[in-house]
């Protein structure tokens, strides 16, 4: 259960951005959660409910966008989506693939209320 510490990191970054842009409040936060990021989106959402209290992000909407696992096949060159535990090329069955996306945990976007600045 390290979603709470990740959430702490998330809020730290978001609040720093808010201060930097002199925002009145944080409106929305978008996080990309890859299928192989090792993070459970529901736990992250719960942790956010706890962490945001009393901060500039108290009213913020947290959007967790799932990022599917995609691999590029070094044999046939085709890029495909795969299940989390089967990263071989689904087209030619080659095991020689590189992950293109799916293990990221990224703070993608922050929406700030800066209307009066």
Partner 1 sequence: MCNTCGCSITPGNRPLVLAEKPRDGVSTVTVLKNLSSKNDRQAEHNRAHFDRHGVLVVNLMSSPGSGKTALLEATIKRLAGSLKIAVIEGDLETENDARRIQALGVTAFQITTGTACHLDAHLVHNALHQMDLTNLDVLFIENVGNLVCPASFDLGHHRNVILLSVTEGDDKPAKYPVMFRAADLMLISKTDLLPYLDDFSPNRAQQSLRNLASKAPVLELSAHQPQNLDVWINWLHDALKTHRRQLANHQTQRPAIARDDVLLHGEASLRLRPVMPESTRP
Q: Which residues of the shown chain bind partner 1 in the complex (CB under 8 A)?
A: 1-2, 5-6, 9-10, 12-13, 17, 21, 23, 27-28, 31-32, 36-39, 65, 67-68, 70-71, 79, 84-88, 95-117
Phi, psi of 25 (to 5 degrees): -160, 165
Task: Tell me how far, at minimum, the Cβ of 9 lies from partner 1, in Å.
Answer: 5
Would you tell me how many other CB atoms lie within 10 Å of the CB of residue 43? 15
DSSP symbol at 93: -
Min. distance of Cβ 13 from partner 1 in angstroms? Answer: 6
Q: How far apart are CA 46 and CA 48, in angstroms?
A: 5
* Largest Cα span, the chain: 56
- The DSSP letter of residue 11 is H
Task: Supply the minimum distance, in Å, between the C-beta of residue 46 and partner 1.
Answer: 16
Kindly state the smallest distance separating residue 53's Cβ from partner 1, in Å: 20
């Amino acid at each position: 259960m390290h979603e709470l510490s990740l959430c702490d990191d998330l809020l730290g970054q978001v609040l720093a951005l808010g201060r930097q842009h002199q925002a009145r409040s944080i409106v929305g936060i978008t996080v990309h959660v890859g299928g192989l990021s090792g993070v459970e989106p529901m736990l992250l959402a719960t942790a956010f409910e706890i962490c945001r209290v009393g901060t500039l992000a108290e009213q913020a909407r947290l959007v967790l966008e799932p990022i599917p696992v995609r691999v590029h096949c070094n044999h046939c060159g085709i890029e495909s989506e795969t299940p989390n535990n089967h990263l071989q090329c689904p087209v030619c069955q080659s095991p020689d693939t590189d992950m293109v996306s799916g293990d990221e945990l990224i703070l993608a976007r922050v929406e700030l209320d800066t209307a009066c600045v």
